[in-house]
Protein backbone atom coordinates (compact mmCIF):
# COMPACT_ATOMS: atom_id res chain seq x y z
CA UNK A 1 0.00 0.00 0.00
CA UNK A 2 2.88 2.29 0.77
CA UNK A 3 1.63 5.44 2.30
CA UNK A 4 4.31 7.46 3.89
CA UNK A 5 3.83 10.59 5.90
CA UNK A 6 6.61 13.10 6.18
CA UNK A 7 6.60 16.07 8.46
CA UNK A 8 8.18 19.16 7.02
CA UNK A 9 8.94 22.49 8.60
CA UNK A 10 6.19 24.98 9.26
CA UNK A 11 3.58 22.41 10.25
CA UNK A 12 3.44 20.87 6.76
CA UNK A 13 2.58 17.20 6.42
CA UNK A 14 3.38 15.50 3.13
CA UNK A 15 1.46 12.35 2.38
CA UNK A 16 3.23 10.26 -0.26
CA UNK A 17 1.13 7.61 -1.95
CA UNK A 18 1.55 4.97 -4.62
CA UNK A 19 -0.45 5.60 -7.79
CA UNK A 20 -1.92 2.11 -7.46
CA UNK A 21 -3.37 2.53 -3.99
CA UNK A 22 -7.11 2.45 -3.80
CA UNK A 23 -8.98 5.45 -2.57
CA UNK A 24 -10.59 3.66 0.34
CA UNK A 25 -7.29 2.23 1.51
CA UNK A 26 -5.83 5.70 1.47
CA UNK A 27 -8.65 7.13 3.54
CA UNK A 28 -8.19 4.42 6.15
CA UNK A 29 -4.45 4.81 6.26
CA UNK A 30 -4.66 8.58 6.55
CA UNK A 31 -7.02 8.36 9.48
CA UNK A 32 -4.74 5.88 11.10
CA UNK A 33 -1.57 7.87 10.67
CA UNK A 34 -3.07 11.26 11.42
CA UNK A 35 -4.43 10.05 14.72
CA UNK A 36 -0.88 9.17 15.68
CA UNK A 37 0.36 12.57 14.52
CA UNK A 38 -2.31 14.70 16.15
CA UNK A 39 0.20 16.57 18.27
CA UNK A 40 1.96 17.73 15.13
CA UNK A 41 -0.80 20.06 14.05
CA UNK A 42 -0.91 23.49 15.50
CA UNK A 43 -4.18 24.96 14.41
CA UNK A 44 -4.20 27.18 11.38
CA UNK A 45 -0.60 26.58 10.41
CA UNK A 46 -1.17 22.89 9.73
CA UNK A 47 -1.03 21.95 6.09
CA UNK A 48 -1.38 18.60 4.34
CA UNK A 49 -0.06 17.89 0.87
CA UNK A 50 -0.92 14.72 -1.03
CA UNK A 51 1.61 13.47 -3.56
CA UNK A 52 2.01 10.59 -5.90
CA UNK A 53 -1.57 9.79 -6.81
CA UNK A 54 -4.21 11.76 -8.60
CA UNK A 55 -7.65 12.26 -7.09
CA UNK A 56 -10.88 13.19 -8.76
CA UNK A 57 -12.54 16.46 -7.86
CA UNK A 58 -15.12 14.80 -5.65
CA UNK A 59 -12.45 12.73 -3.93
CA UNK A 60 -10.45 15.87 -3.24
CA UNK A 61 -13.52 17.50 -1.82
CA UNK A 62 -14.18 14.55 0.43
CA UNK A 63 -10.61 14.41 1.67
CA UNK A 64 -10.60 18.11 2.43
CA UNK A 65 -13.82 17.76 4.36
CA UNK A 66 -12.51 14.76 6.27
CA UNK A 67 -9.30 16.49 7.24
CA UNK A 68 -11.14 19.59 8.32
CA UNK A 69 -13.87 17.89 10.34
CA UNK A 70 -11.72 15.25 11.99
CA UNK A 71 -8.47 17.12 12.52
CA UNK A 72 -9.25 20.80 12.03
CA UNK A 73 -6.90 21.02 9.09
CA UNK A 74 -8.15 23.58 6.58
CA UNK A 75 -5.10 23.86 4.38
CA UNK A 76 -4.94 20.90 1.98
CA UNK A 77 -3.18 20.71 -1.37
CA UNK A 78 -2.79 18.00 -3.98
CA UNK A 79 0.15 16.70 -6.02
CA UNK A 80 0.89 18.82 -9.06
CA UNK A 81 -0.63 21.92 -7.46
CA UNK A 82 1.70 22.02 -4.51
CA UNK A 83 5.33 22.95 -5.04
CA UNK A 84 7.99 20.87 -3.38
CA UNK A 85 8.47 22.17 0.13
CA UNK A 86 12.00 23.28 0.86
CA UNK A 87 13.76 21.30 3.57
CA UNK A 88 14.37 24.17 5.85
CA UNK A 89 12.62 27.45 5.84
CA UNK A 90 12.26 29.37 9.01
CA UNK A 91 10.60 32.33 7.36
CA UNK A 92 7.26 32.12 5.56
CA UNK A 93 7.45 33.31 1.95
CA UNK A 94 6.80 37.02 2.16
CA UNK A 95 5.93 38.04 -1.33
CA UNK A 96 7.79 40.93 -2.87
CA UNK A 97 10.19 41.54 -0.01
CA UNK A 98 13.40 42.57 -1.77
CA UNK A 99 16.99 41.87 -0.89
CA UNK A 100 20.37 43.27 -1.79
CA UNK A 101 20.94 40.99 -4.77
CA UNK A 102 18.04 42.69 -6.54
CA UNK A 103 15.68 39.79 -6.09
CA UNK A 104 12.42 39.24 -4.28
CA UNK A 105 11.10 36.08 -2.73
CA UNK A 106 8.92 34.08 -5.08
CA UNK A 107 5.55 32.77 -3.94
CA UNK A 108 3.80 29.48 -4.43
CA UNK A 109 0.49 28.94 -6.17
CA UNK A 110 -1.35 28.68 -2.87
CA UNK A 111 -0.75 32.37 -2.36
CA UNK A 112 -3.24 33.29 -5.07
CA UNK A 113 -7.01 33.13 -5.13
CA UNK A 114 -7.67 33.68 -8.81
CA UNK A 115 -6.49 32.11 -12.03
CA UNK A 116 -6.62 35.20 -14.19
CA UNK A 117 -7.93 38.71 -13.78
CA UNK A 118 -9.29 41.26 -16.23
CA UNK A 119 -9.52 44.74 -14.73
CA UNK A 120 -11.69 47.07 -16.74
CA UNK A 121 -10.72 50.31 -15.01
CA UNK A 122 -7.72 52.27 -13.84
CA UNK A 123 -6.04 50.97 -10.71
CA UNK A 124 -5.61 53.69 -8.15
CA UNK A 125 -2.88 54.10 -5.57
CA UNK A 126 -3.25 51.53 -2.82
CA UNK A 127 -5.12 48.98 -4.90
CA UNK A 128 -3.52 45.58 -5.38
CA UNK A 129 -4.49 42.92 -7.92
CA UNK A 130 -2.94 39.46 -7.83
CA UNK A 131 -3.53 36.12 -9.51
CA UNK A 132 -1.66 33.00 -10.49
CA UNK A 133 -2.15 33.55 -14.22
CA UNK A 134 -2.23 36.63 -16.41
CA UNK A 135 -3.57 40.07 -15.64
CA UNK A 136 -4.94 42.60 -18.10
CA UNK A 137 -5.71 46.15 -17.03
CA UNK A 138 -7.91 48.23 -19.29
CA UNK A 139 -6.69 51.54 -17.94
CA UNK A 140 -3.75 52.93 -16.03
CA UNK A 141 -1.91 51.46 -13.09
CA UNK A 142 -1.21 54.51 -10.97
CA UNK A 143 1.76 55.08 -8.72
CA UNK A 144 1.07 53.19 -5.50
CA UNK A 145 -1.00 50.49 -7.19
CA UNK A 146 0.35 46.95 -7.47
CA UNK A 147 -0.18 44.17 -10.02
CA UNK A 148 1.22 40.75 -9.08
CA UNK A 149 0.85 37.86 -11.53
CA UNK A 150 2.12 34.34 -11.81
CA UNK A 151 1.86 34.89 -15.56
CA UNK A 152 2.13 38.00 -17.71
CA UNK A 153 0.79 41.50 -17.31
CA UNK A 154 -0.63 43.79 -19.95
CA UNK A 155 -1.62 47.37 -19.19
CA UNK A 156 -3.64 49.09 -21.90
CA UNK A 157 -2.71 52.44 -20.47
CA UNK A 158 0.14 53.88 -18.45
CA UNK A 159 1.97 51.69 -15.98
CA UNK A 160 3.25 53.95 -13.20
CA UNK A 161 2.95 51.60 -10.25
CA UNK A 162 4.47 48.25 -9.38
CA UNK A 163 4.18 45.21 -11.67
CA UNK A 164 5.55 41.76 -10.93
CA UNK A 165 5.13 39.13 -13.64
CA UNK A 166 6.22 35.55 -13.06
CA UNK A 167 5.82 35.98 -9.33
CA UNK A 168 5.95 32.22 -8.80
CA UNK A 169 9.13 31.81 -10.78
CA UNK A 170 8.03 31.51 -14.40
CA UNK A 171 10.42 33.25 -16.74
CA UNK A 172 8.38 32.99 -19.93
CA UNK A 173 6.35 36.05 -19.04
CA UNK A 174 6.21 39.69 -20.03
CA UNK A 175 5.06 43.04 -18.76
CA UNK A 176 3.62 45.14 -21.54
CA UNK A 177 2.14 48.63 -21.40
CA UNK A 178 1.10 51.43 -23.71
CA UNK A 179 3.34 53.66 -21.66
CA UNK A 180 5.86 51.71 -19.63
CA UNK A 181 6.83 54.06 -16.82
CA UNK A 182 6.80 52.11 -13.55
CA UNK A 183 8.84 53.09 -10.55
CA UNK A 184 9.99 49.50 -10.31
CA UNK A 185 9.45 46.42 -12.43
CA UNK A 186 9.83 42.82 -11.33
CA UNK A 187 9.93 39.71 -13.47
CA UNK A 188 10.36 36.26 -12.00
CA UNK A 189 11.65 37.70 -8.77
CA UNK A 190 14.23 39.95 -10.38
CA UNK A 191 13.91 43.65 -9.59
CA UNK A 192 14.58 46.38 -12.13
CA UNK A 193 14.65 49.94 -10.88
CA UNK A 194 13.41 52.05 -13.70
CA UNK A 195 15.56 54.73 -15.25
CA UNK A 196 14.14 58.20 -15.36
CA UNK A 197 13.39 57.97 -19.06
CA UNK A 198 13.38 54.77 -20.98
CA UNK A 199 13.30 56.66 -24.25
CA UNK A 200 11.16 56.06 -27.25
CA UNK A 201 7.46 56.47 -27.73
CA UNK A 202 4.82 53.85 -27.99
CA UNK A 203 4.00 50.59 -26.28
CA UNK A 204 6.79 48.58 -24.79
CA UNK A 205 7.35 45.06 -23.55
CA UNK A 206 9.64 44.03 -20.72
CA UNK A 207 10.96 40.46 -20.77
CA UNK A 208 13.26 38.31 -18.74
CA UNK A 209 16.27 37.19 -20.74
CA UNK A 210 19.36 35.52 -19.32
CA UNK A 211 18.94 36.77 -15.83
CA UNK A 212 18.05 40.37 -16.56
CA UNK A 213 15.06 42.41 -17.56
CA UNK A 214 15.15 43.80 -21.09
CA UNK A 215 12.76 46.26 -22.67
CA UNK A 216 11.86 46.53 -26.29
CA UNK A 217 9.23 48.38 -28.30
CA UNK A 218 6.10 46.40 -28.93
CA UNK A 219 5.96 45.70 -32.63
CA UNK A 220 3.85 43.09 -34.32
CA UNK A 221 5.88 39.94 -34.74
CA UNK A 222 5.25 36.93 -36.86
CA UNK A 223 6.71 34.49 -34.37
CA UNK A 224 5.42 34.08 -30.83
CA UNK A 225 7.02 35.63 -27.79
Partner 1 sequence: MENVIVVTSGKGGVGKTTTVANLGAGLAREGKKVVLIDTDIGLRNLDVVLGLENRIVYDLVDVVEGTCRLKQALIKDKRYDGLFLVPAAQTRDKMAVTPDQMKTLIEELEQEFDYILIDCPAGIEQGFKNAVAGAKSAIVVTVPEVSAVRDADRIIGLLSAEGIDDCELLVNRMRIDMVKKGDMLALDDTLDILGIELIGVVPEDEKIIRSSNMGEPIVMNDKAPAGKAYRNITKRIMGENVPLMDLNDDSGLGSVLRRLLRGK
Task: Report the nearest approach of partner 1 to the CB of residue 8 (Å).
Answer: 40
Residue 126 found at the interface with partner 1 (CB under 8 A): yes
The conformation of residue 141, written as its DSSP 8-state character, comes to B
Q: Is 143 in the site for partner 1 (CB under 8 A)?
A: yes
Which of the stretches 65-73, 75-83, 142-150, 199-207 binds partner 1 when contact is defined by CB under 8 A? 142-150
Question: Binding residues for partner 1, how many (CB under 8 A)?
Answer: 10
Please give the C-alpha separations between residue 189 and each of 80, 162, 167, 183, in angstroms, as whole numbers. Answer: 22, 13, 6, 16
Residue 144 contacts partner 1 per CB under 8 A: yes
- Decide if residue 178 touches partner 1 (CB under 8 A): no
60 contacts partner 1 (rule: CB under 8 A):
no
**142 contributes a contact to partner 1 by CB under 8 A:** yes
Q: Closest separation between CB of residue 224 and partner 1, Å?
A: 34
Phi–psi pair at 123, nearest 5 degrees: -90, 125
What SS3 state is found at 121? Answer: coil
> Is 130 a residue that touches partner 1 (CB under 8 A)?
no
Confirm if 208 and 173 have CB atoms less than 8 A apart: yes
Q: Give contact residues for partner 1 (rule: CB under 8 A).
A: 122, 124-127, 140, 142-144, 160
Amino acid sequence: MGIRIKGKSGGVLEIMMQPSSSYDEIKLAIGDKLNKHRGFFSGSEAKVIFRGRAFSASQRKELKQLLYEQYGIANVAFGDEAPVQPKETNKPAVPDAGDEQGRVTLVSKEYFDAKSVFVSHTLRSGQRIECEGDIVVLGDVNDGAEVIAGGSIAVLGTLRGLAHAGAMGRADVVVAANVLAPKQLRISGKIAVFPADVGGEGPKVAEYKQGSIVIRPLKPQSRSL
